[in-house]
Amino acid sequence: MSQEGYDHATVEERWQEAWEDADVYHVPDDADDPTYVLGMYPYPSGKLHMGHVRNYTITDAYARYRRMRGDDVLHPMGWDAFGLPAENAAKERDTNPRDWTFDCIDTMRGQMKSMGFGYDWDREVTTCTPEYYRWNQWLFRRFHEAGLVERRDAEVNWCPSCETVLADEQVEGDAELCWRCDTPVETRELDQWFLKITEYADELLEAIDELEGWPDSVRQMQRNWIGRQYGSEVDFEVEGHGPVTAFTTRIDTIHGATFFAVAPDHPIAEELAAEDDDVRRFIEEEADPDGDEPNGVETGLTATNPVTGEEIPVYVADFVLSDVGTGALMAVPGHDERDHAFATKKGVEIRPVIAPEPDDWDGETVPDAPDVTEEAFTEDGVVIDSGEYTGLDSETARERITEDTEGASEATQYRLRDWGISRQRYWGTPIPIVNCDDCGAVPVPDEDLPVELPEFINTTGNPLDAADEWQATTCPECGGPATRETDTMDTFVDSSWYFLRYVSPDLTDAPFDRERANDWMPVDQYVGGIEHAVMHLLYSRFFTKVLADEEGLDHREPFTNLLAQGMVQLEGEKMSKSKGNVVSPQRIVDEYGADTARLFMMEAAQPERDFDWSEEGVRSTHRFLTRLSDLVEAYAAGEVATAGDDADRDEIDDYVADETDAAVAIAGAEYDDLTFNVALREAQELVRTLRSYREAAEPHPAVFERGLDVAVRLLAPVAPHLAEELWETLGRDGFVAEAEWPTASVDRDTVERRRRLVANTREDVRDIVDVAGIEDPERIDVVIAPDWKYDALQIAIDSDADNLISELMAESHIRERGDDAASYGQDLQANREALRETLDGDAEYDALRAAAWLIEREFDAPVRVERAADADEGVVSKAEPGRPAIDIVE
């Protein structure tokens, strides 16, 4: 079953045990350098899938990296353990949700351990335990006291198949399907509990600007979800019914309002339905807010335009939504698409009152009206045919009309609605309310929390409705007989603060320890799926703000940096059970080991990107680890023939030492950015370099060993088990998981310049060999440019003078070079920008000398790297900074 190669099973088991015995991932409560790295906790469905593996490898690699950098890293794991699937599974299997859930958790915890994820399991949080959900209830009470809880009779989305209410966010697409089972969602009226997230709408929106560590796409989704719009409210007098308020973002178009429309459940519509059979029939039978075209019925009444005094017909129309604005609108078919469609259908006048602003508009001349017969002109422009407002731009007109008009005022409207948290299901947190005939809905006092779930009853509908004994209680206020609320909370309540519970998971008198939370929060790096871009993240932000206001949390945002990981695909398609294209993590771990699975995933693509699973890729990763393991073992066994001591290092040794530093410099920066794929390329390149080093020379022992040591440490965050094994093989003390991250004596910029120089020079040699048709070169000379050219370059870089030549000629040692200086000056003048990226002369000389062996190996000829002073005049004249001259002797 096991693949050829190193014995991953033994290695992985061994180190998992060793970590556990030494409690390596335990995090102290009070940290000096607190870093909080968090992956979105999973729903315990029973099995880890590749999406989980990717998510948690990202956080684990980053957590390990930060730990090696010396931070105290909080990296916990828990279970989003309430929810409908457990209930359904329990019914199918004739068990109960609790047992089923805990079984799933045990399996998944085991799988996580076998992946080598370094969690502090002492902090494990499981939301379906009374120890956790009592704090949901406690928080519900705090929200209640703060006036942020409300019970309302509300129209709710009802999934007939799941038999539950769904939040707006759980209804998907234009077809309005249940997010879990794809059944079309219906509407019902029910008493519901709401958390008043709209009270925080402005802050939730405005603070998005500061979330610089979040992907732009997620920030935009949140903005759109909140959907703040500035506009005006304006009253139209409806004949016989008094003023009706409309919300509009375009009061500048009010002279073009040719009808007025109200939603089918607007109070006026209901009044009219009582008087008018056509209206009633429309409301009851025809109105379809989700239909493709707008429908409506004329009421026979008129509304008076408050600006013009014009009387326009009133319709009840289904494209007017009751929960947007005021549920009534002034319709301007010339400038709004939906109004246009409706007017066209009903034969209502379409009147242009805005013209596109001409490019060269003088601000006074009134432009011609656009043709709006076929299509509305929906942009801002210049107001026309609008009395005293004619000639104004749209924005000015909006301000003036709102100000001048009696019954008009500025208004803001949001797309965001309060968060309905009531669910008519068993497997969730009971809402801590007692319903009393005399006292109404009374919150359960803190000292009576938790309100625990009764035993599961297998019924259709909500098992809590059938739990009569559990329901019967006494009223906390009057002591009379009362019944418990049978709604449970949306599980998004659990996940809105679980990240706070990890800081003090066992606390029994509060949901979290305030001081510790203030230490650890906000989460430095949060990683999870893009499907949580709106709900979970918005609710968590809301909770954090409320807890800052009510419970002394210091931070108003929970997550400083957010990474939305890409999907693991197979042949371009998302892996999913229904498509039958799932690759089982368990099989990969069995066949290749967790390190291979982790390394393959992290090197395959940047974490944000989707990528294709490839069995060949997995095998090649496994081969790489085997080669590394062989190399370290060969060295440790004294099988690598080394030579030299500290005083005796040649150019090849220097090259490898430099490349080791280079790998450290680059990999560190890339780990900081979570671009693991680039960091890992460096580590792999280093291993390749060490292998060629061993073949090309007798490696210097210290240089070779440092190379191996560094390679192991650079790989340790991603392939932690093999890294431990090799760390031990190299004779190092302690765990590599607790080792220090290596440091480099060179910066990344220098490394990149050096590498570019070497690569370009090799390319030049290849070109010459090709073009000149040289079969068997006898010697290759590489000659560095003379000092004066580096000086001239430096002047060119520092100067912003237009005439560079005269500036250069002011330097006597450059002027002395005559024509050469003039012509190089012209080159510089033309290529100033491009030349900024060059090393100085000494650094170029060192870099090329160290890399000469690579050229020697490639062309099988000795290479001489020379300074200009030591070389032939004719060759020197061709050398420039960044581009040494090359002379090949046949």
Site of interaction with ligand ANZ (CB under 6 A) = 229, 247-250, 253, 263, 320-321, 324-325, 327, 329-330, 332, 335-336
Q: Is the CB of 344 or the CB of 614 nearer to ligand ANZ? A: 344
Q: Encoding tokens for residue 294?
A: 């707008």
Q: How far is the CB of 319 from ligand ANZ (least distance, A)?
A: 6
Scanning the structure block, which residue is given the tokens 């390319």?
763
Closest CA to 709 of 643, 652, 641, 636: 636
Among 7, 20, 438, 763, binds Zn ion (CB under 5 A): 438
Closest CA to 863 of 778, 767, 772, 759: 778
Q: Encoding tokens for residue 835?
A: 């030349």
Q: Are 55 and 115 contacting, i.e. CB atoms less than 8 angstroms apart?
A: no
Residue 248 binds: one of Zn ion, ligand ANZ, none (C-beta under 5 to 8 A by kind): ligand ANZ
Q: Is the CB of 438 or the CB of 448 nearer to Zn ion? A: 438
Q: Encoding tokens for residue 41?
A: 């906790």
Q: How far is the CB of 347 from ligand ANZ (least distance, A)?
A: 19
Q: Are 881 and 843 contacting, i.e. CB atoms less than 8 angstroms apart?
A: no
Q: Exposed, middle or buried: residue 551 (CB in 10 Å: 0-12, 13-18, 19+)?
A: middle
Q: How far is the CB of 263 from ligand ANZ (least distance, A)?
A: 6
On the CB side of 307, how many CA atoms lie within 13 Å of its CA?
A: 23
Q: Is the CB of 464 or the CB of 475 nearer to Zn ion? A: 475
Q: How far is the CB of 321 from ligand ANZ (least distance, A)?
A: 4
Residue 438 binds: one of Zn ion, ligand ANZ, none (C-beta under 5 to 8 A by kind): Zn ion
Q: Does 434 bind Zn ion (CB under 5 A)?
A: no
Alpha-carbon radius of gyration of the chain: 36
Q: Are 591 and 550 contacting, i.e. CB atoms less than 8 angstroms apart?
A: no
Q: Is the CB of 257 or the CB of 665 nearer to ligand ANZ? A: 257
Q: How far is the CB of 440 from Zn ion (least distance, A)?
A: 8
Q: Encoding tokens for residue 256?
A: 């073009």
Residues forming beta bridges with residue 186, ordered by sequence position:
158
CA distance 199 to 774: 78
Q: Is the CB of 253 or the CB of 504 nearer to ligand ANZ? A: 253
> How many other CB atoms are found less than 10 A from the CB of residue 791?
16
Q: How far is the CB of 441 from Zn ion (least distance, A)?
A: 10
Go through the chain and tell me how many residues it has.
Answer: 890
Residue 336 binds: one of Zn ion, ligand ANZ, none (C-beta under 5 to 8 A by kind): ligand ANZ
CA distance 77 to 73: 13
Q: Does 551 bind Zn ion (CB under 5 A)?
A: no
What's the distance, CA 816 to chain centroid?
Answer: 60
DSSP of 391-453: T-BHHHHHHHHHHHSTTEEEEEE-S---EE-EE--SSSPBP-EEEETTTEEEEPPGGG-----
Residue 436 binds: one of ligand ANZ, Zn ion, none (C-beta under 5 to 8 A by kind): Zn ion
Residue 475 binds: one of ligand ANZ, Zn ion, none (C-beta under 5 to 8 A by kind): Zn ion
Q: Is the CB of 108 or the CB of 320 nearer to ligand ANZ? A: 320
Residue 439 binds: one of Zn ion, ligand ANZ, none (C-beta under 5 to 8 A by kind): Zn ion
Residue 478 binds: one of Zn ion, ligand ANZ, none (C-beta under 5 to 8 A by kind): Zn ion
Task: Give the DSSP H or E segment for 275.
Answer: helix 267-275
Q: How far is the CB of 480 from Zn ion (least distance, A)?
A: 5
Q: Exposed, middle or buried: residue 236 (CB in 10 Å: 0-12, 13-18, 19+)?
A: buried
CA distance 263 to 303: 15
173: Cβ–Cβ under 8 A, 6 or more apart, which residues? none
Residue 72 binds: one of ligand ANZ, Zn ion, none (C-beta under 5 to 8 A by kind): none
Q: Does 444 bind Zn ion (CB under 5 A)?
A: no
Q: Are 225 and 538 contacting, i.e. CB atoms less than 8 angstroms apart?
A: yes
Q: How far is the CB of 227 from ligand ANZ (least distance, A)?
A: 8
Q: How far is the CB of 255 from ligand ANZ (least distance, A)?
A: 11
Residue 9 binds: one of ligand ANZ, Zn ion, none (C-beta under 5 to 8 A by kind): none
Residues forming beta bridges with residue 73, ordered by sequence position:
35
Question: Parallel, antiparallel, or unpaired: how do β-strands 229-238 and 296-304 relate?
Answer: antiparallel
Q: Is the CB of 324 or the CB of 530 nearer to ligand ANZ? A: 324
Q: Is the CB of 253 or the CB of 525 nearer to ligand ANZ? A: 253
The dihedral through the CA atoms of 864, 870, 875, 880 has a sign that is positive
CA distance 50 to 586: 10
Q: Does 475 bind Zn ion (CB under 5 A)?
A: yes
Torsion of CA 645, 651, 652, 658, to 10 degrees: 90
Q: Is the CB of 473 or the CB of 677 nearer to Zn ion? A: 473
Q: Does 730 bind Zn ion (CB under 5 A)?
A: no
The dihedral through the CA atoms of 791, 793, 797, 803 has a sign that is positive
Q: How far is the CB of 266 from ligand ANZ (least distance, A)?
A: 9
Residue 441 binds: one of Zn ion, ligand ANZ, none (C-beta under 5 to 8 A by kind): none
Residue 68 binds: one of Zn ion, ligand ANZ, none (C-beta under 5 to 8 A by kind): none
Q: Is the CB of 273 or the CB of 436 nearer to Zn ion? A: 436
Q: How far is the CB of 432 from Zn ion (least distance, A)?
A: 15
Backbone angles phi, psi at 495, to 5 degrees: -85, 0
Q: How far is the CB of 358 from ligand ANZ (least distance, A)?
A: 20
Q: How far is the CB of 264 from Zn ion (least distance, A)?
A: 38
Q: Does 433 bind Zn ion (CB under 5 A)?
A: no
Q: Is the CB of 343 or the CB of 533 nearer to ligand ANZ? A: 343
The dihedral through the CA atoms of 433, 435, 441, 447 has a sign that is negative
Q: Does 507 bind Zn ion (CB under 5 A)?
A: no
Q: How far is the CB of 355 from ligand ANZ (least distance, A)?
A: 13
Q: Are 322 and 265 contacting, i.e. CB atoms less than 8 angstroms apart?
A: yes
Residue 27 binds: one of Zn ion, ligand ANZ, none (C-beta under 5 to 8 A by kind): none
Residue 250 binds: one of Zn ion, ligand ANZ, none (C-beta under 5 to 8 A by kind): ligand ANZ
Q: How far is the CB of 478 from Zn ion (least distance, A)?
A: 4
Q: Is the CB of 435 or the CB of 799 nearer to Zn ion? A: 435
Q: Is the CB of 438 or the CB of 890 nearer to Zn ion? A: 438
Q: Is the CB of 472 or the CB of 834 nearer to Zn ion? A: 472
Scanning the structure block, which residue is given the tokens 């090359």?
886
Q: Is the CB of 263 or the CB of 666 nearer to ligand ANZ? A: 263
Q: Which of residues 3-22 bind Zn ion (CB under 5 A)?
A: none
Q: Are 192 and 151 contacting, i.e. CB atoms less than 8 angstroms apart?
A: yes
Which residue's CB atom is positioned nearest to ligand ANZ? 335
CA distance 792 to 787: 9
Among 436, 583, 708, 751, binds Zn ion (CB under 5 A): 436
Among 9, 439, 669, 696, binds Zn ion (CB under 5 A): 439
Q: Does 477 bind Zn ion (CB under 5 A)?
A: yes
Q: Are 826 and 741 contacting, i.e. CB atoms less than 8 angstroms apart?
A: no
Residue 321 binds: one of Zn ion, ligand ANZ, none (C-beta under 5 to 8 A by kind): ligand ANZ
Cis peptide before 862 (omega within 30 of 0): no
Number of H helices, E strands in the chain: 30, 33
Q: How far is the CB of 253 from ligand ANZ (least distance, A)?
A: 4
Stretch that binds Zn ion, among 270-278, 474-482, 638-646, 854-862 (CB under 5 A): 474-482
Q: How far is the CB of 378 from ligand ANZ (least distance, A)?
A: 6
> How many other CB atoms are found less than 10 A from the CB of residue 174?
7
Footprint of Zn ion (CB under 5 A): 436, 438-439, 475, 477-478
